[in-house]
Structure 1
C-alpha cells in the first residue's frame, strides 16, 4: 500500500472497481470489484499494461503515453480484458501516487441496452459518406481549373497552381477512401522533412505573411517508414489549428529520441516531431476531450482534425501528445524509426 493512501484504506471493501498501477502503468493490484467487472482473476490482470484494457477509443492510451502529474478524468472509456467480450464503458479517474497510479472505474449506465461507442461512429460515418459524395464534383472542377490556369500563367505562379492541383488530387483520394474503404496502404520509406516542406508550402499559401514559419530540423534523421499523404494531412491539421488559434509564430522541430516507450512497446529509436506555436492555447474546458472527434474550440470547427492526426499517429505505431498554456502550445508526434542492424 502506498504511503499516500489512508492507513485504514481497504480496496477490496470498495464496491467501485479499482486498479493499482505501477510507475510503468502495469496493473499491480485489482480489487474484487474490478475482477468481477472484467470477469477475470487478479492473476490474469496482474502485470498487464493498463492501456491494453482500452478496446474502444484511445483516451487512456494517449494519457499513459506521457507523465501524469495531476488527477484527471476520462469519460466513457470502452474497456475489456483483451480477447474477451465487447467492451463495457466507464468514466475513469486516474490519480498519481508515489509509486504509480490509482485507476478508479465508474461504470456508465446512461445508455441501457446500447453500446455508446457505436452511437457516434455510425452517425459520423454516415455523415462523412454524404459529405464525401458531395465533394467529388467540386474537387474535379478545382483540379481542372488549376490545370487550365497553369497554361496561362508564368513560372512563378505555376508553382501555386501545382499546389492547388496536387491538393485537390490528395483530397479526391481521401474522398474515395471514405466512399470505398480499402485496407491501409503499405508503408514506404519517406523523408519526413519533405513532408514538412509540403506542409510549409500549404501554410504559406493559406496564411501568407500573417504567420512566421520556422524550421528546426535534425538533418541526421533516417528515413521514416510511413504514409506521406497521411502524415502530410496530420501535420497540416496541427499547423492549421495553430494558425486558427492566433499564432504569430509556428515552429516545426524534428529530433531523434532513443529508448522511447510508446504504449506497451519500447523502441530503440523514434522521431519526435513537434509543432510549437505562440497562440491562445487549448481552452481548459476542452482539455479532457481534445483528441475526441467533434470536439472543437471554434464555432465553425468540425472537431475532426486532431482526431484524424491521432489516428495517423496510431497507424504508424506512434502517439500524439500535447501540452499547452497561453502563448506556448506543443503538439508532439512520437513515431518509431527503423534501426538497421549491421551485418557481422
Structure 2
C-alpha cells in the first residue's frame, strides 16, 4: 500500500462515509466511516471499482461515464462491498475534480426526506483546508495594519480599527477551526440583539449609506444559549448576501414564537429572526439548491455563505428557511429559547 492511497486525516475525521475515486472510477481512498458503514475494513475497499459496489441498477455507472459539471445526487442506491452480504441504502453525492471523483454516502435511514442542507459534498472539506492556509498570512497583515492605524486616528477611527481587529480575530479562529477541527465550544447565554448590532456595524462599514439598515426588535426576548461568534457569522452572511443582491434596504426583525416545531421537535418558545431585503431575490433555478455548498447565483460568489448559515442554525437546534420573489426576500432563522421555567443554560428554576 503506497502512502498516497492512505486516507487524508481531514477525510478520515468525517462521520459521513466518503470514497475517493480515480478517473477510472476505482476506489483509491476510503475513510473509516465508509468501512464501518459497509461492515468491511476500509483497506478492502481500495482497488474496488465503484460500479461493483452498486447492487441494483446502473445509476452510479451512468453518472461516472459522464463529464459532471456540478455535484450529482443519486437517490436511494443499494450498495455492498463485493463478497459481503451487508446491503446498505444511501443517497449518494458524486463530485468531480481534476483528480477523479469524491463519492459521499448519506444513509437514507439516517437522513430521511429531502433536506439538501445536510448533503455537504466531501470535496468541500479539502477545499476549505487549502483556503484556510492561504488566509492565515493576509489576516495577520490586516491585524498589524489596523493596530498601526489605530495610533494615528481619532476616537471614531479607533472604533473602526477595533472593529477590524475583532473581526480579524474571529476569522483567524475560524481558520484555525478549519485546519484543526475541534469539538464545538460550549454554548453560553447571549443576547441576540447584541449579535445583530455587531452584524449591523459590519454592514454599515461594508455598504456605507448605499443600504438602509432597519431594526425591528422585540426587547422582551430572553437570552438564548449559543455561540455568539458563529451566530454573528451566520447572520452576517445573510445580510451580506442581501447587500450583494442589490438591496436598497435590509431589515432585521426579532419576535418570540410559541409552540414552534423545528424538525421533529416542538419547542414551547423560540426566536424568529427575519432578515428581509428588497433586492433581486433568489434565482428560481437555484431555489432548491441554494443551501448546497459551492452553489451561487453570482459569478464571483463562493457558494459557501448560505451553507455555513444553515450549518450554524443546525448547531443551535434551529432551522433556516427562505421565501423570495424579486423585490422581497426573507430568510427566517428559528432558534429554541428557554421556557419561562428555564434560564438560557437550560437549568430549571426551583
SS state at 1:183 partner: coil
> Deviation string for 1:127-147 (max 9, x for gaps)?
111110111111011111111
Cα gap change, 1:126/1:173 in structure 2, threshold over 3 Å: closer, same or farther? same
SS in 2 for 1:289: coil
In structure 1, the partner of 2:316 is 316
Tell me the TM-score normalized by structure 2: 0.67
2:227 paired with 1:227: yes
2:65 alignment partner in structure 1:
none
Give SS of 1:121's match: coil
Residue aligning to 1:263 = 263
Task: List alignment gaps of at least 5 residues for structure 2.
Answer: 1-71, 79-85, 95-100, 107-118, 342-347
1:138 aligns with 2:138: yes
Cα–Cα, structure 1 residues 202 and 85, in superposed 2: closer, same or farther, change >3 Å? farther
8 A contact 1:319–1:335 mirrored in 2: yes
Shift of 1:114: 7.9
What is the CA–CA distance in structure 1 between the aligned matches of 2:132 and 2:76, rounded to whole Å? 29
CA distance in 1, matches of 2:141, 2:124: 26
Q: Structure 1 residues 152 and 114 mapped into 2: Cα distance closer, same or farther (>3 Å)? A: closer
Contact 1:78–1:117 (CA under 8 A) maintained in structure 2: no
Distance of aligned partners of 1:76 and 1:330 in 2 relative to their CA distance in 1, 3 Å threshold: farther
Q: What is the Cα deviation at residue 90 of structure 1? A: 7.5
Counterpart for residue 90 of structure 2: 88
Between the aligned partners of 2:87 and 2:181, the Cα distance in structure 1 is: 26
Structure 2 CA distance for aligned equivalents of residues 200 and 311 of structure 1 = 21
1:121 alignment counterpart: 121
- Written as runs of structure 1 = structure 2, the 5 A alignment for 1:240-259 is 240-259=240-259
For normalisation by structure 1, the TM-score amounts to 0.68
Counterpart in the other structure of 1:332: 332
Deviations 1:237-260 (A, max 9, x none): 000000010000000000000000
Show the counterpart of 1:53: none
Other-structure match for 2:54: none
Number of equivalenced pairs: 249
CA drift at 1:340: 3.6
For 2:132 and 2:102, how far apart are their aligned partners in 1? 28
In the TM superposition, residue 122 of structure 1 has moved relative to its aligned partner by: 3.0
Query: Partner residue of 1:306?
Result: 306
The residue aligned with 1:37 is none
Tell me the alpha carbon deviations over residues 180-236 of structure 1, each in whole angstroms, 9 at most, x when there is no partner: 000011000000000000000000000000000000000000001000000000000
Per-residue CA deviations over 1:28-81 (Å, capped at 9, x if unaligned) read xxxxxxxxxxxxxxxxxxxxxxxxxxxxxxxxxxxxxxxxxxxxxx9546799x
| Ranges in structure 1 where 5+ consecutive residues have no aligned partner | 1-73, 92-107
Show the 5 A alignment for 1:146-161. Answer: 146-161=146-161
Counterpart for residue 19 of structure 2: none
Matches of 2:280 and 2:176, distance apart in 1: 35
Residue of structure 1 in register with 2:236 after alignment: 236
Of 117-126 and 265-274, deviating more is 117-126
Take 1:288 and 1:186, find their aligned partners in 2: how far apart are those partners? 33
Name the SS for the 1:329 alignment partner: strand
Alignment-derived partner of residue 279 in structure 2:
279
> CA deviation digits over 1:272-324, x for unaligned, max 9?
00000000111000011111111100000010000000000000000000000
**RMSD (Å) for aligned C-alpha atoms:** 2.6
- 8 Å contact kept, 1:322–1:331: yes
